[in-house]
Amino acid sequence: GIQVEQSPPDLILQEGANSTLRCNFSDSVNNLQWFHQNPWGQLINLFYIPSGTKQNGRLSATTVATERYSLLYISSSQTTDSGVYFCAVELSGGSYIPTFGRGTSLIVHP
């Protein structure tokens, strides 16, 4: 099956810092989503981005499908950004099995 690797596994920041999270995948994909899992366990959609670049406030994401990676940028981080960030991909070619990476755990200190 498809392999999804996220880096770094852990990240600790001071409030106001910027960060880049990476998601590498081993095969061509139809779908790619970024999620934030808050400390209460709720998975929140950040971006649906199988290709290209999107921005939403302090967050932006870029997927380069031909090179099999996606990046999530967090600017001017806040304590509420703490949690685990997951990317999830769906293999192209008819296999409808969403596969998640192991996530990046982010802690933002005040």
Under the binding rule (CB under 8 A), the answer on residue 86 touching another protein is yes
Least distance in angstroms from the C-beta of 97 to another protein: 6
Q: Does 34 bind another protein (CB under 8 A)?
A: no
CA 4 to chain CA mean position, Å? 11
The reply on whether position 83 binds another protein by CB under 8 A is: no
74 is written with which tokens? Answer: 């967090």
Among 7, 24, 26, 30, binds another protein (CB under 8 A): 30
Give, as one character, the DSSP assignment of residue 105.
Answer: E
Q: Which is nearer to another protein, 27 or 75 (CB)?
A: 27
Residue 42 burial class via C-beta count within 10 angstroms: exposed 0-12, middle 13-18, buried 19 and up: exposed
